[in-house]
Structure 1
């Protein structure tokens, strides 16, 4: 209240007096003008003609960006000997999440040893065949066979070594479970000394980046025709009541959930500072087309409601201020569509409007 009185006190001297400025023979008309001093406490909006929209409120929830989710399954069965990550940890791509001892790894170790021995034998056979071929004892066919045997032995050793690299086999029957992507551990189903199978359907870890998240919102059947891809949305959460996230609907799922009888829509959002956590509930306010009609649109802060009527404060070409009654077509949370009273290009106040309105009414009495 004290602040409003202070601002009102500033406004009173801003009414134009009857003394004429230097070089002007006639005094200006009485009234209130948009002076430099007044500009410091008000702001001006220009009326524009826009397509009429409406707002639809939906319930939503934060989910992982499925394009960034990686589920880690065991390659071989065995016993978990080490676990290096917990739910909520951030891990880099290639970080070791767990170590498992497995009899299947021992089989690959034997294959690698056998492949190495076969390669050594093939190389020796190749050298001996070369010597015999040079002495005329071995034929070209013998040389060709020796080369083929050596090539096959080299290919087999390379294959087994690639298996070791791909599956992160360590030797001594151990292998490492590594993170395929950088991100957060969002689910963990593994513990030390746990017995696992290679064919189990449950993943050991789920890793997901949270730089981007999806907002999945539910649209009731009666509102399906109102929502389209590309519609702008404003998202709020219980965790950040004073913060608003903006985006657009990028995908409409054209099927209904059998249980809830709702259709899902998706909004992709950048998640700066990881504020949005998967599982959070959200309120999604969709701005959607109401009709093909176009109408003057103004900021809702521009309106003054008194005695059942709505008014705006207009700034004319001479910067004089006038109270103008308007007829509202549709009122939204932040904007309003005006049927009568203003035209495209009109300048109106949209800050401290009530103070100026009261001052103008006091002057007219």
Structure 2
């Protein structure tokens, strides 16, 4: 029993201290002031007028920004000798993800050696023909032909060198699979000693940056008229219940899914500290403006509902606390619009309001 009543005693003692010296509890209920000690447990907000908005709640999910997704396919068939990256790892562009031993790479290495040898022979041949031309033993045509052979040998050697650079051929019949972009490994379909083919359809790795993510939300057919591009949205997640992410609808997919009979809308978000993970479920609140009407808007936490009526606790210029009945015009998940009871510029409590309300209502 003592454990149950302790919070009540604590609140009464706190409010008594905040109210200053009084003779009895009835006097506390009649006059209560916002003192410095009370400010430490409550929060005060100023009422402002806003355009009335309606809010549509949608189910959404975090997905990768498809503009930042890179898929890595095998260039050559062969055997995987080493894998250096796992799902969830962050890699930088150019980091080696795996190495593969391939017979096709061995063929390119053979071509490279042949091209280098042909280049040496062509250079020597041109030098020899030029010497013979100087002594009158070769014609100008012979010199031109030798120079053309050298040009062909240089072109072939350059082609093979570029292939080695493009495909990251590392010698000893190995080629390196490197990250084409910086980002996170989001899918991996390769393991050590695995046999792969150059014509397989499965990606070895899928990489994506998480600096920006997409939130895809489902819109039922009855709500399609309520969403449009550039509509402001609020987004909440189970992982961060006290945090709200804001953005705008940047794309409306004007087609219905055959199975779910819903239309998708997309919101692009900057993902600071990688808080949003692909696959997370979200609530997406789409705001729709109702033109021509402005009303006082307050935080929903400022409302106290009792006996079918709504109340707020106001703070006057002398820091005196009072209870006012208000009429709610529209209740949203985070805010609500009032049709009467308070005016623009008034100050109200929006944290631990029930504690103060109960003290002011005490008999």
TM-score w.r.t. length of structure 2: 0.84
* Of 208-217 and 162-171, the range deviating more from structure 2: 208-217
Q: Match of 1:21?
A: none
Indicate the SS of the match to 1:267: strand
Query: 2:319, 2:244 → 1: CA distance?
Result: 37
Q: Match of 2:260?
A: 260
- Displacement, 1:297? 0.6
Unpaired runs of 5+ residues, structure 2, are 1-7, 23-29
* Of 220-229 and 241-250, the range deviating more from structure 2: 241-250
Distance 1:75 1:309, change over 3 A: same
Query: 1:37, 1:197 → 2: CA distance?
Result: 73
Distance 1:341 1:258, change over 3 A: same
* Of 116-125 and 299-308, the range deviating more from structure 2: 299-308
Q: Match of 2:17?
A: 10
* Of 6-15 and 150-159, the range deviating more from structure 2: 6-15
Q: Match of 1:103?
A: 103
Q: Match of 1:23?
A: none
Q: Match of 2:135?
A: 135
Query: 1:206, 1:273 → 2: CA distance?
Result: 21
Alignment of 1:197-216 (within 5 A): 197-216=197-216
Q: Match of 2:82?
A: 82
- Displacement, 1:336? 1.2
Query: 1:108, 1:83 → 2: CA distance?
Result: 23
Q: Match of 1:120?
A: 120
- Displacement, 1:243? 4.4
Indicate the SS of the match to 1:121: helix
Q: Match of 1:155?
A: 155
Query: 1:205, 1:36 → 2: CA distance?
Result: 59
- Displacement, 1:187? 1.9
Distance 1:313 1:193, change over 3 A: closer
CA contact (8 A) 1:48 1:297 kept: yes
* Of 68-77 and 132-141, the range deviating more from structure 2: 132-141
CA contact (8 A) 2:99 2:176 kept: yes
- Displacement, 1:167? 0.8
Indicate the SS of the match to 1:215: strand
- Displacement, 1:162? 0.9
Alignment of 1:329-340 (within 5 A): 329-340=329-340
Q: How much is the aligned-residue C-alpha RMSD, in angstroms?
A: 2.8
Q: Match of 2:181?
A: 181
* Of 56-65 and 67-76, the range deviating more from structure 2: 56-65
Alignment of 1:1-365 (within 5 A): 1-13=8-20, 33-36=33-36, 38-228=38-228, 229-237=230-238, 240=239, 242-248=241-247, 249-280=249-280, 282-292=281-291, 293-361=293-361
CA contact (8 A) 2:77 2:198 kept: yes
- Displacement, 1:344? 1.8
Distance 1:193 1:315, change over 3 A: closer
Query: 2:21, 2:215 → 1: CA distance?
Result: 50
Equivalenced residues, count: 347
* Of 352-361 and 248-257, the range deviating more from structure 2: 352-361
TM-score w.r.t. length of structure 1: 0.83
Indicate the SS of the match to 1:350: strand
Indicate the SS of the match to 2:20: helix
Distance 1:179 1:155, change over 3 A: same
- Displacement, 1:313? 3.0
Query: 2:193, 2:301 → 1: CA distance?
Result: 64
Distance 1:36 1:77, change over 3 A: closer
* Of 173-182 and 71-80, the range deviating more from structure 2: 173-182
* Of 183-192 and 292-301, the range deviating more from structure 2: 183-192
Indicate the SS of the match to 2:94: coil
- Displacement, 1:140? 3.9
Distance 1:74 1:342, change over 3 A: same
Distance 1:192 1:42, change over 3 A: closer
Unpaired runs of 5+ residues, structure 1, are 16-29
- Displacement, 1:31? 5.2
Query: 1:41, 1:177 → 2: CA distance?
Result: 58
Query: 1:122, 1:319 → 2: CA distance?
Result: 97
